[in-house]
Amino acid sequence: MKKTLSTILTFLAVISLLSACGNEPTQTNNTSGSAENSSVTAAANDTTASTAQPTDPAEVETSPLHTIYFNDCTKSSDATATFFNSITKETKDVPMKKESEDDTSVKYSCEEDTSVYNMAYVTYGDKQSGEFAFNKCVSGWQQTEDNFYPYTEGIGIEEDPQFDDITITGYGCEKKVHVWKPADYDANSSEKYSTVYVLDGQMIAAFGKTSFNPDSHPSVVEQVEAMNLLTGSKTLIVAIESDAQRDVELVPDMELSKSERDAQIPGLDEEKHEENDDEDEDCMTGIQFAHFMANKLVPYIQENYNVYTDARHTAISGNSLGGMEAFYIGVEYPESFGTVGSFSPSLYQFNGDLWKTYLSEKTFGDNSPFIYFYTGPAGVDTDPDVTEMYNRLKEMGYPAENLALHYNENGDHSGISWRSVFSEYLNAIVFRSIKPLQQ
């Protein structure tokens, strides 16, 4: 039954992605490098620097009020934002002010309290937008006739984000990795950059660069760019591809004992496997992939980019199977990752007793990572297993201040749902809290 559910949810996620993306992405001209040579051959980040200036982080944290923008390409004559708390269900309608109008759109804005509300939607004319997370890391959302997607006020939408494409070998397997840097990235700056690692990175890099479609694209670059501008944060994105191997390398086998899991760890630095005609050949296990992330990829990024080396400034996220693997990686390697975004994690792959046995091996405390869970209803998403995990962690002594759960009764297992709340996870990275979810 669980394998059947996994297959159905994976199918739904893929359909959500591919139905809007159309044909397979074309090849890019980015030059690939190899970690075996301890060097990066980088594609130039040619994003035009914005004239918009980052806000003082201290000022951002002090005031709970935040301005949200709505760019309406349908040019409705009015717009009203409805803010709501996904837990208490408290709502508030706020008429939006018309900021500007041109031949293509009308821009509206309004201000509200991020300590009370964590979600919003906009009624424009006789239509209603999709729901989206409301917090200090989100700048604005743009509505066209067919799509609704995030953008950064003062910058716009990055339809062709540039990445450094690198290849790193672990356990004899070559992993493709894509690194996005802000336009003002300074490799020699005394001020370091934070790092957000994103599993299933092919969704960000391949689709983002070559066949951008806002209906399915996760818009991670746009939302990190907004976070950087609005909070004064300086953050890189590291996107790791899984693709054909994800059903194995994004599944940490909880049926194994600790000694059996430990037995899989040796061999991280073995040479590349011989080429195989079967593209679906299993590569790393979920246990090995986690070890690769913490002990090969993270050290490589820290050596080759101007980033912090502590867990507080290093985060990891994933969706579906990637959400489960991100959760496992954060719990297994808290010294490497300080924030986890676990979106619709496929925790149902293993029963609660197996998870409890695994978690009982761990010691939780102030250094435990902040874990953000997101899920929707059973049948269309991965609850009740996610809510059960959230409660299990609290019962086992996990610091309550380092846990947040967003249950979306209207959510499903799709890129659109995950995109709509990604900024909530970013808020946890910057501020170590999501107040409306933790009261």
Predicted local distance difference test score (pLDDT) of residue 36? 37
Q: For the chain, which residues make up each domain, given as ranges? A: 32-49+158-438, 61-151
Helices 415-431 and 2-21, axial angle in degrees (round to 10): 100
Q: How far is CA 365 from the centre of its chain?
A: 24
Output the six-digit token pair for 11.
Answer: 């199918």
Min mean pLDDT across 26-40, 215-229, 358-372, 387-401 is at 26-40
The pLDDT > 70 percentage for the chain reads: 80
DSSP character string of 245-269: GHHHHT---TTS-HHHHHTTSTTTT
At a CB cut-off of 8 Å and minimum separation 6, what does 410 contact? 131, 376
Predicted local distance difference test score (pLDDT) of residue 55? 54
Burial of 66 (0-12, 13-18, 19+ CB in 10 A): buried
Predicted local distance difference test score (pLDDT) of residue 142? 94
Between 271 and 430, name the one with better pLDDT: 430
At a CB cut-off of 8 Å and minimum separation 6, what does 237 contact? 179, 180, 195, 196, 198, 204, 220, 221, 224
Residue 94, helix vs strand vs coil: strand
| Cβ–Cβ < 8 Å for 183, 45 | yes
| Cβ–Cβ < 8 Å for 213, 77 | no
| Cβ–Cβ < 8 Å for 287, 267 | no
Q: Is the pLDDT of residue 22 over 50?
A: no
Output the six-digit token pair for 51.
Answer: 């004239």
Please report which confidence band the pLDDT of residue 62 belongs to, taking 50, 70 and 90 as the band edges: confident
Alpha-carbon span 262 to 255, nearest angstrom = 13
Q: Is the pLDDT of residue 61 over 70?
A: no
How many other CB atoms sit within 10 Å of the CB of residue 288? Answer: 22
Alpha-carbon span 114 to 435, nearest angstrom = 8
Output the six-digit token pair for 171.
Answer: 């356990």
DSSP character string of 408-435: -TT--SSHHHHHHHHHHHHHHHHHS--H
Query: 32-49+158-438, which class in CATH?
Result: alpha beta
Fold of 61-151: Immunoglobulin-like (2.60.40)
Alpha-carbon span 134 to 65, nearest angstrom = 11
For the chain, what is the mean pLDDT?
A: 85
Predicted local distance difference test score (pLDDT) of residue 401? 96
Q: Is the pLDDT of residue 218 over 90?
A: no
Q: Is the pLDDT of residue 388 over 60?
A: yes
Please report which confidence band the pLDDT of residue 282 belongs to, taking 50, 70 and 90 as the band edges: low
Q: Is the pLDDT of residue 176 over 60?
A: yes
